[in-house]
Structure 1
C-alpha cells in the first residue's frame, strides 16, 4: 500500500484540505508584495539635468530653456558611444568653460537632476540619485535581494526537509516582519546615505530569505496535503493568489506615492500571517517520509473526522509496516544536496531543472520588474501585467492536464523565444519611437509576460513532481538558488544593458529560452503519475532520451 492509496481512505480533498489549502494560498499573497514593492519604491521617474534656469521657470518638467544645454545627437555619438542617445541627453549637459579645450563646448556629467512628479511624490532613486553613473547603486540593492533569494531557497529548502514545512514557514513570517521593519527604519536622513544604504540592503536581504521560505514551503505543502488528481489544481490556484498579491501591492502603491511611507506600511503586512503557524498543520506526507508514524496517525485521524470519513487503525498499521519495509530496502538517506546526485537519472534531472529555473527567472523577473517601460502610466502597466499573469495561469490550468507537462512547457517556452526575437525586425523596419512601434512593443511585452508566467508556473509544478518527497524541498531549493542568478542577470540587464539598447534584454530572453526548450525534452512526463517518495521512484520514471 502506497501513501496515496491510504490517503484516499481519509479523504484527499475534503473540507479539511480545502480550508488548509485556502490558508496556504493566502500566504502566497506576501511574496509578490515584497518582491515587486521595488517596482514602486525604486521607480525611476522621467528626469533631466537640473539646469541653471530651474529657479526661474515654472515646475512643468518640460523646460524649453534647458534644451540649450542638452547635447545633440552628433555630440552624443561622438563622445558617449557606449550609451543610447536618450541616456546621453538626460545624463550629460553642454558646458562652456575655458578650462575645457580652450572654451569649446563639451559634455559634462550632470550632478543634480529634476524628476517628474506626475506619478510619484518621491522614490529611493530620486532621494539617493540612483541614475546615470550611479544606477549601479540601484542594481546592487536588487542583487543583494536576489542573493537573499539564493540563500533562503537553499537554506529554507534543506531545513524544511529536515525540520518540517510548518516550522520553517512560521520562522519565515517572523523574519519577513523583521526585514520589513529594518527597511522601514533604514533610510534616515539624520544618519546619511553612507550608513542607510547598507542597512536598507540588509533589510532587503532578510525579506528575500523570508520570501523564499514562504514560497517554497507553501507551494510544497499545498501539493502534499491533496491527492494526485488535485495536484494541478493545487499548483495553479496558489499562483492565482501570487498574481492577486501583485494587485494588492498595486492598491497600496496607488494610494501611497512616497517610498518611505509605502515601506513602513508594507512592513506590518506580514504580522497577521505569523499566527498561521498555530493554524496550519504539518504535511502528512512529510511526517510519513520521516517515519514519524504516531504523529502522522493522529493527523490522519483528525483529517478523517473533518472529512467525515472513517479512520481505520488496522489499515493504517498495515500501511506503516509496508512503508517501513520500503525504507529498510532503501537504507540511504535522501536528505541534502548530495542525495540528488547519488543517482545518474536524478542528477541529470536536477541539473537540467536548475537550468530551466535559471532561464525562467531571467525572463520572468526581467519582464516583471520592467513594467514601467510598457506604458507611460506605471500603475496601469503594472495592473495590466498582473491581469496578463492571471490569464496565463488560467490557460495553463485548462491545458496542462490535457497536453501534459512537457509538451505544454515546451510550447510556452518556444512561443516566448519567438516573440522575444520579433523585437529585432520591429526595431529595424519601423520608424524609431513611432506610434506603431510603441503599440507593437506593448503587445510583445504583454505576450512575453503571458508566456513567461505560464512557463514559470509549469516548471514549478514539473519540479515538484520530479523530486522525491524526502528531497523535494531541497531540490526545489537548489533550483530556486540557481534561479536567483538568473533573476540577478535579469535585474542587471534592465538597469545596465538598456543604457546601450532598450530592447537588448529581450533578445537575451529569446536566445536562452530556445536552448531551455531543447533541454526540456529530456524530462519524463509526470502527468497522472504518483508523487515520487524516494530517489528510486524517480529512477523508475527514467528519462525521455
Structure 2
C-alpha cells in the first residue's frame, strides 16, 4: 500500500487539509510583496540634470533647462551613440558661457539631478543617485537578491524560521541607508538585508509549496499547485495598496516589515507533513497525526492498512541498491536532451517573467495602475491554466504561449519606429503589448513547473527540479540586468531580446513528449519509452521472455521484440 492509497482512507482533501492549506496559501502572499517591493522602493522616476548655480528652486518641469541646457537630438545621435537620445538628454548637460552664446556650449555629464515628484516622493534611486553611469548599483542589489533566492531554494529550512528571518531582514532593509554612515556602509548593509530577505522569501515559497502538495492525494496536485499561485497574485495587490498610499521608500519598507509580524504566529497553525514522517520512518509521530486527521475529517483510522503501509515503506527504505545522482540526468541520450532542454526553458521563463514583472515602472501611464494591471493579468493567467491544463495538455498550451510571447514582443519594433513618438496611440499600444506579455509570461511560467515535474523520473526528480531552480535564478538575474542596462541603449531593447529567446525556447520545446493522462515516469527507462516528439534515437532495450533476457538494438527493435515474443509463445506451445 502506498501513502496516497492510505491517505484516501483518512480523507485526501478533507476539513483538516482545507484549513491547513488555506493557512499555507495566506503565507504565500508574502513572497511577492518582498520580491516586488523593489519596484517601488527603488523606482526610477523621470529625472534630468540639475541647473548649476541656480538661485531659484530647480523643479523638474523647467522650460529654461530645456531651452538652454538640454543637449539637442543631433548632438546625441552623433556623439553619444552608445545610449539612446532620451538617456543622453537626461544624463548630460550643456554648459554655455552665457545664455546668449548657446551655439558654443560644451556638453558634460551631470553632477547633480532633479527628479520628478509626480508619482514618488522619495526612492532609493534618488537616495543613492542610481541613474546614468551609476545604474549598475541598482541592478547589483536586485541581482544579489536573486542569488539569495538561489540559496533559499537549496537551504530553505523550517517554514516558521523563515518568517522570523523575513521580519528581521525587512527591518534591516528599512533601517539602511543612513547618511551619517556614508554610501558604502549603507549600501552594503542594505544589500545584505535584501540577500537575507531573499533567502527567507524563497524558503517560504519552497516550504509552502511542498507542504501544500504533501497534504493531498495525487488527484488534487494540480489544484493545490495552481491555487497557491492565486495568492502569489493577491500578494501583489496588497503591495500596490501599500505603495499607492505610501510614496516614500523608507516608510513603505517599515510598513511592510510590520505587516509581516502577524505571520510569525502562523507557527501554531502550520501543518506537519505525515507524508514526510512516513518517508523518514517516523511511524509513531505519523500515526498520531494521521489519527488526528481522520478524526477531524470524520473518518475511521484503519490500523491494518497503516501497518501494511509501514511494511511497504520499511522495504523501500532497505532497498538502497540503486543510487542515482546528478550524472543520471545525462547518461541516457534522451534523458540528457530533455534535461538540458528543461534547464534552458526554466532560464528563459524566469528571464522573461521577472524581466517583464519588474519593468512595470517603465510602462506608459501611472506606475501604480501598471502594477495593478500586471497583477490582475497574472491572476487571470493562473485561472486559465487551471481550467485548460487537464483538458488540453501541457505541450500545446506551453509552446503556444511561448510562441505568442515572442511574436507580441517583436511587435514593439514597428510600434516604436512607425508610430508618432510619445503620442497617446503609441503609449496605449505599448501598454497593451506589455499587459499581453505579462499574461503570456505568467501562463508559460506556471506550466513549465508542472511540465518539468512530470518529465523528470521519480528517482532524480528532486535533483532535476533543484538544478532547474538554480538555473532559473540566473535567468532572473539576466532579466534584471537587461532592464537596467539595455534600456539605456533603447527602451524596448529588453522586450525584443525576451521575444527572440522565447521563440528559440518554443522551437526547442516542440521535442518534449505530452504528459497529460500518462503515469509519472519512475525511472530513466520510463523516460526513454516516452521518447522525444521530433527525434528518433537508436537505443538499447531489454525484454524478459520466460527466463531469458533479450537484448534488442537498433531501429527495428519493436519488430524484433514482436518476433522474439512470438517465438517464445510457439516454443511454449510445443
**Same fold by TM-score, threshold 0.5 exceeded?**
yes
Once the two structures are TM-superposed, the CA of residue 519 in structure 1 deviates from its matched residue by: 2.7
Counterpart of 2:199 (choices 200, 203, 209) is 209
Q: Deviations over 1:226-272 (max 9, x none)?
A: 12221121111111100100010111111211111111222233322
3-state DSSP of counterpart to 1:107: strand
Higher mean C-alpha deviation, range 375-384 or range 26-35:
375-384
Q: Which residue of 2 aligns with 1:353?
A: 342
Question: Conserved in 2, the CA contact under 8 Å of 1:466 and 1:538?
Answer: no
Higher mean C-alpha deviation, range 280-289 or range 67-76:
280-289
Who wins on radius of gyration, i.e. which is larger? 2
3-state DSSP of counterpart to 1:48: strand
Question: RCO (CA 8 Å, sep 6+): is it higher in 1 or 2?
Answer: 1
3-state DSSP of counterpart to 2:93: strand
2: CA distance between counterparts of 1:173 and 1:542? 41
Q: Which residue of 1 aligns with 2:370?
A: 381
Question: Conserved in 2, the CA contact under 8 Å of 1:220 and 1:473?
Answer: no
| Structure 1 residues without counterparts, runs of 5 or longer | 157-166
2: CA distance between counterparts of 1:342 and 1:265? 51
Once the two structures are TM-superposed, the CA of residue 387 in structure 1 deviates from its matched residue by: 0.8
The question of 1:127 aligning with 2:115 is answered no
Q: CA RMSD in A?
A: 2.4
Residues 346 and 306 of structure 1, relative CA distance in 2, 3 Å threshold: farther
2: CA distance between counterparts of 1:304 and 1:540? 40
Query: TM-score by structure 1 length?
Result: 0.91
3-state DSSP of counterpart to 2:71: coil
The question of 1:503 aligning with 2:488 is answered no
Once the two structures are TM-superposed, the CA of residue 338 in structure 1 deviates from its matched residue by: 5.9
Residues 221-300 of structure 1 aligned to structure 2 (within 5 Å): 221-300=211-290
The question of 1:56 aligning with 2:56 is answered yes
3-state DSSP of counterpart to 2:179: coil
Higher mean C-alpha deviation, range 27-36 or range 180-189:
180-189
2: CA distance between counterparts of 1:58 and 1:390? 42
The question of 1:426 aligning with 2:415 is answered yes
Higher mean C-alpha deviation, range 431-440 or range 358-367:
431-440
Q: Which residue of 2 aligns with 1:91?
A: 91
Query: TM-score by structure 2 length?
Result: 0.86
1: CA distance between counterparts of 2:520 and 2:210? 12
Once the two structures are TM-superposed, the CA of residue 44 in structure 1 deviates from its matched residue by: 0.9
3-state DSSP of counterpart to 1:114: strand
Q: Which residue of 2 aligns with 1:515?
A: 504
Q: Deviations over 1:390-431 (max 9, x none)?
A: 111111111111111222211211111111122223233323
Residues 473 and 17 of structure 1, relative CA distance in 2, 3 Å threshold: farther
Counterpart of 1:178 (choices 144, 168, 171) is 168
Residues 399-438 of structure 1 aligned to structure 2 (within 5 Å): 399-438=388-427
2: CA distance between counterparts of 1:325 and 1:307? 30
Counterpart of 1:527 (choices 516, 522, 535) is 516
Q: Which residue of 2 aligns with 1:65?
A: 64
Once the two structures are TM-superposed, the CA of residue 535 in structure 1 deviates from its matched residue by: 4.8
Q: Which residue of 2 aligns with 1:163?
A: none
2: CA distance between counterparts of 1:502 and 1:538? 47
1: CA distance between counterparts of 2:155 and 2:78? 50
- Name the count of aligned residue pairs: 528
| Structure 2 residues without counterparts, runs of 5 or longer | 534-574
